[in-house]
């Protein structure tokens, strides 16, 4: 059951939790490192959220290689989550940030890549296409 829902919903919930329930901003520094060049590299909360979303996107792409009814449900839920990201980005004032835009873009990539990987896997499973003998 847990494999059926899109993991990027955790990032969506995390962003909304910070925006609506805390006084923190996504510019809040988590840590900083002085580089060899002498420049201070600051890793902030927004960076952490985008990094977490990219990691979860990788897991979502691995999940997209599954076939069957479960993957169809997962793709539908990912599409609904992307619509949620998009509507919130357009409508909600607190979501009109670069961090949220990048999270919305990651969600779109999840939807497109998920459908693309599933279609390619289905073609390979059924042997449809050039060289398969069917066409």
Note the pLDDT tens digit of each residue in 69-105.
777 888 899 999 999 999 999 999 999 999 999 999 9
Longest CA pairwise span in the chain (Å): 63
Residue 17 lies in a domain: yes
Residue 76 lies in a domain: yes
| pLDDT at residue 128, rounded to an integer | 52
| pLDDT at residue 123, rounded to an integer | 62
Residue 135 lies in a domain: no
Residue 128 lies in a domain: no
The separation between CA 61 and the C-alpha centre of its own chain, rounded to angstroms, equals: 10
User: Can you give the pTM of this predicted structure?
Assistant: 0.83
Residue 127 lies in a domain: no
Residue 133 lies in a domain: no
Q: What is the pLDDT of residues 28-42, one digit of tens each?
A: 899 999 999 999 999
pLDDT for 132 beyond 60: no
Residue 94 and residue 19 in contact, taking contact as beta carbons nearer than 8 Å: yes
Residue 89 lies in a domain: yes
Domain that holds residue 111: 2-121
The total number of structural domains in the chain stands at: 1
């Amino acid at each position: 059951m847990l494999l059926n829902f899109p993991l990027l919903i955790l990032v969506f919930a995390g962003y909304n939790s910070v925006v609506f329930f805390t006084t923190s901003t996504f510019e809040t520094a988590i840590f900083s490192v002085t580089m060899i060049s002498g420049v201070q590299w600051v890793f902030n909360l927004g960076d952490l959220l985008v990094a977490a979303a990219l990691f979860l996107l990788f897991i979502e792409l691995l999940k997209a290689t599954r076939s069957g009814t479960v993957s169809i449900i997962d793709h539908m839920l990912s599409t609904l989550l992307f619509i949620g990201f998009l509507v919130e980005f357009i409508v909600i004032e607190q979501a009109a940030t670069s961090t949220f835009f990048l999270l919305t873009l990651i969600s779109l990539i999840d939807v497109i890549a998920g459908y693309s990987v599933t279609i390619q896997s289905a073609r390979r499973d059924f042997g449809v296409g050039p060289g398969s003998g069917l066409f």
